[in-house]
Structure 1
């Protein structure tokens, strides 16, 4: 069976897949920001906070993938309502890197780009080449919906941090992904099962599920990063913000912390008790998710794209829902409702665009409640704008992720190492695959990952980030 990137990998908004990195790197020596086009701006006012020149053309390039590009065109219509004299050149494409790499090299990029998809431009290279506009002015501008609220204050937790590199906000992500454990509400109701809040409750429920002839868990075995998510979520709840920082900042012995080892022990116990469906290690994400939809397993770990991905696979009335990872201890530093969440679908305004102000104002409009609500209705996906789904009738899965984010409040968290350090991400994936297939202990798991983290920390050739 052919291999391909997992959906989680495609959602990452930082390191990404290196499309034409060598050529893009040449931008650093081809003038940097010194040869930035002359400002194409107008007068700033309450109605035009970013100073867009009313008749300046705007070029918008959108990744036309699973979400299509109608949502982007809807925002363009709103933009025209503000800047009636502007002409908009809209391009909906799929191979963003292939199409735009020569234009970045030539210093003639579009005004705003949805840099998403497997063929996207390498974000790390763009950042290093200083090819991206700092979006701080946009974030501090009044929102499109409410002049008394800044754009930054309309976004869900973590969105600004997800686009921050060396204290500059260089990208803004439009969709919001939540990770947790998925189950069928009708199945649980028919069996009288209650979603567990603690790990002890999870293990007790797993024993009951197994006795009923159903595997308690399955996972996307060929891509063990999927089962990493609940393990790392459990550790984050136990260790809190200090753990997130120590791991992402490559601190010595971070992976040997009590919180991470306890989480690894929990998943080793899950495997040891036979609570993971036999053969899961050999399954792709589509195969494991199909088995789960067929009722062969009760739980599967995944991000909030699962419901959309299972359309046409999940039977009628399956009514999937996502719950937060159960707490490992009674003294966790985060509450039981805390969830791992991060933004994706990365939008950028090139530094050398002809209409930087227009690109930013387009994003101000795109990230409005009005625009985000239209996106949620058409795409069935949670936007990164707070309150965008209020008042909408949502599907079971999307409704559960929206409810999870509301319940988590400020305790929505994410690790950053996966997007900053691809080699460390792979080391964690490989170690967890060994752990949940009973070929490594929790101590061996921690030692193996810590060795990989230490090697990256000592490698002067690897760009380091801190949080």
Structure 2
């Protein structure tokens, strides 16, 4: 990773987005069917099978059934079948990728042709990167509209999926992280979103008078607050904090900016401003439907995930996370944003060419536009947010990116090294008041140390 990666949504990304926007149960597995009214792109003269996919044949994908569901992949699979009669495409849903897929990477087993490696139980890419098919041919191929795929993607997407010098993962959605809240409620109260933690604590007292909390957290998503802490600390301390944490440095979690943010969050817990909402979807409903909390720290998927569980007139929007002081190293408008929803093609699959072809269809402009319309989140395909789509959530994401300009940053050590479950456990204890800020920092540092000192783990470094 180079320093330029933090600019992956800068001039090349923000302007196209801004110009385009004017504003749970698991699905059954098996042979693809779709209720989508979106027509399939018709085969054109440029539409060939660039990866050597044989027809007839079988293609098997396993897709995480989370905020975005699995319908968008099933729609792409339907397009494959219609464009190439004789293909049989199975899209299987999963709510635990590690449980359902990890054993299939063992010797003698056969993994799926395409895997959506997402969710709190995602595979540690560091452990399997050498067993994944490079996506260079996909990037060089044309999409269904006849454009070279690499030229249609936002800057930094390839780098984000590059491990040990090989491009082996494709993150499909583009997520903006911050403090999600109700614009209408803040307007009604005459509140502005605080830009510093001391102001946030003052707002907590006001919210308490209305019977509301500052934050709510759910059992399976306590680690969302790790994202809030890391993002806030990077804004306060600058890119030296980002480098220290992402490079697993020995004192990364003891940096003054990190320790200060953890102490501020501990003050929120001690003041009773943090509500435990139970299971994570129920916890999120405490925020978006019951409005018992002002903020929920999350990525862009939250708008779609809570679409049917948000009170009328909520006007879901997002603001940058707070800093410790009024003079942070990065400007208050700096924002964490990065591609998410990671797709991988195992080399040892029965039909890796089928996995690549399914990804190629998903990267068509028509598929990307349909995803943005349904999920209120843009994909990594540039200029594919429908111009007629009105959404306060999507408008807010575009505004944050435009305001941030060059000051967009990201990291990947938590997911890359498979630390999400450990983080979730530790942050749950912290948010419950069972673990203080200093102890949490020590525990998180221990996790980084263990990965850094394990010679069997191939690490990456960032500048």
Indicate whether the TM-score tops 0.5: yes
453-462 or 436-445: bigger deviation = 436-445
- Write out aligned runs for 1:210-249 (5 A): 210-220=208-218, 223-249=221-247
Candidates 272, 275, 285, aligned match of 1:290: 285
* Runs of 5+ consecutive residues of structure 1 not aligned to the other structure: 1-45
Highest Rg: 1 or 2? 1
Candidates 418, 427, 447, aligned match of 2:414: 418
Residue in 1 that maps onto 2:318: 322
Residue in 2 that maps onto 1:37: none
* Runs of 5+ consecutive residues of structure 2 not aligned to the other structure: 1-44
- Write out aligned runs for 1:9-408 (5 A): 47=46, 51-53=50-52, 56-57=55-56, 59-63=58-62, 65=65, 67=68, 69-72=70-73, 74-75=75-76, 87-95=86-94, 112-115=114-117, 123-128=125-130, 130=131, 132-141=132-141, 147=147, 151-156=149-154, 159-220=157-218, 223-272=221-270, 274=271, 276-277=273-274, 280-281=275-276, 283-292=278-287, 293-352=289-348, 359-408=355-404
TM-score, length basis structure 1? 0.73
250-259 or 343-352: bigger deviation = 343-352
TM-superposed deviation, 1:260:
0.8
Asked whether the equivalents of residues 159 and 384 of structure 1 are also in contact (C-alpha less than 8 Å), the reply is yes
TM-score, length basis structure 2? 0.74
Distance 1:71 1:196, change over 3 A: same
TM-superposed deviation, 1:234:
0.2
TM-superposed deviation, 1:168:
0.8
State the secondary structure of the residue aligned to 2:217.
coil
Distance 1:94 1:364, change over 3 A: closer
Give the Cα–Cα distance (whole angstroms) in 1 for the partners of residues 140 and 238 of structure 2: 29
Distance 1:209 1:170, change over 3 A: same
TM-superposed deviation, 1:249:
1.6
Distance 1:50 1:410, change over 3 A: farther
Alignment deviations for residues 50-85 of structure 1 (CA, whole Å, 9 cap, x no partner): 84558655644344635455533554566679xx66
TM-superposed deviation, 1:391:
0.7
Greater RCO (Cα-Cα under 8 Å, separation 6 or more): 2
Give the Cα–Cα distance (whole angstroms) in 1 for the partners of residues 223 and 55 of structure 2: 45
Asked whether the equivalents of residues 55 and 87 of structure 1 are also in contact (C-alpha less than 8 Å), the reply is no
